[in-house]
Amino acid sequence: MAETLTIWTLDWVPPGPRGFVRDLRLRWAAEEAGLAYVVRTIAFEDRETNHLDRQPFGQVPFLTDGDVALFESGAGLLHLAGKSETLMPRDTAGGAETLQWTIAALNSIEMVSVPWWFLKVTGQAENGLASWMDKRLAQLEVVLSKRDWLAAGRFTVADLIMADVLRVSDVRARGERPATEAYVARVTARPAFRKAHADQIAHFAAADSERSKRG
């Protein structure tokens, strides 16, 4: 009997992060690949210390799949991609290109966009990272103006992670990048994203009800 794929997230978060908590990435990938999974939770309270044995930085998500236990959403995505040709082409060139753009989303774009966003929301709108991020987004705009998908001529896990990085509202609002905006809209229109997003919103909404019952 196959082991159950389990995606771990928080039992509740405030309204602001809903729809962006990174377990969404793993839900979305599993939906795209047709992989059965369950979602389990850890308590929001004491979240930075209550699961250090499974995630040494006190974050979510983490993933269990039989004897495999992984933290970091990127690692989880690559693990799921290894189970599905939908997410990762099996030919050498297509697989390498997909891996390249998956890492680029995390290392070349998100590495800049997340700290830029954090400084912005804490009151430093034109912080020292702004010009660096603008340059990276402009470079990516050139790429996306010439292709519909990042790798292998079709949707892959690279598009999933890149679109998730780019769909943050403050990033989307930063400058005029029509090819990027069309790309994000195209990727997030996929039924698997819509289901994963709706499921995460419903998950946290249900937690609101449970918390209100506890007073």
**pLDDT tens-digit profile, the chain (215 residues):** 456 899 999 999 999 999 999 999 999 999 999 999 999 999 999 999 999 999 999 999 999 999 999 999 999 999 999 999 999 999 999 999 999 999 999 999 999 999 999 999 999 878 889 999 999 999 999 999 999 999 999 999 999 999 999 999 999 999 999 999 999 999 999 999 999 999 999 999 999 988 877 76
- Encoded amino acid at 17, one letter: P
Domain 5-85+192-213: give its CATH code.
3.40.30.10
- Residue intervals of the chain classified under CATH 3.40.30.10 are 5-85+192-213
Residue 118's nearest CA partner among 133, 137, 140, 138 is 133
Structure tokens at 59: 């974050």
- Residue intervals of the chain classified under CATH 1.20.1050.10 are 92-190
The burial of 6, by beta-carbon neighbours within 10 Å (0-12 exposed, 13-18 middle, 19 or more buried), is given as middle
CATH class of 92-190: mainly alpha
